[in-house]
Amino acid sequence: MNDWEKLQLLNQRKDELRDKMKAVRNGISDESRAEQNKTLFDMITQTELYQNAKWILSYVSFNSEVDTKELLKRALKDGKKVYVPKIANERMNFFRLEDFGELSMNSMGILEPDGDPAKSFPYDLHLSLDRAEECVFFVPGLAFDKDCNRIGFGKGYYDKYLTRFHKKMTVGLAFSEQIVDQVPSNEKDVALDLVVTPTGAYY
């Protein structure tokens, strides 16, 4: 099998997993979702990783994703520097959030910042950080495995973004149902440092 055939097979396996996990995640009951979200919120906010973080980058949850809205509000209350994403011209960037009410809904129904360039995330931040743990990056996904590989919707926004600066602690947030035996991946896919579920963490 040549490299092109291997890539085609990998992409096919990814698409099959995406289809399966969309159904799995959407099928979690409201009761279970609420319980797992509460457990994850409590787990994360009680960790030294969160408590010692000065900078928080995070997706703003949408539809059936693990909820981050309460986490973002808590981080703002705790005085952390919070950044959330906006996608424009097929490129994702993060912008400073100082009040949750600043977010507005885009055409897809996703809450996002206004994209003021003056509030964009400083990519040279890693030069001034003593430890990667000072900057925690919460990442969404459809599925994760115990080696901290993830699969999203296939646009590659997060994989591209994760390679743009160095010192950061990347954390996947997942419902228990989102952990699979293996996420298909190759050298272009970026593994996370940590995946947190209501029943434990993988790193």
Each residue's pLDDT expressed in tens, for the chain with a length of 203 residues: 888 888 899 999 999 999 999 999 999 999 999 999 999 999 999 999 999 999 999 999 999 999 999 999 999 999 999 999 999 888 899 999 999 999 999 988 999 999 999 999 987 776 677 777 799 999 999 999 999 999 999 888 898 888 876 678 999 999 999 999 999 998 878 899 999 999 999 99
Provide CATH code, domain 3-202: 3.40.50.10420
| Full-model pTM | 0.92
Q: Which residue has the tokens 């693990």?
A: 66
Domain ranges of the chain: 3-202
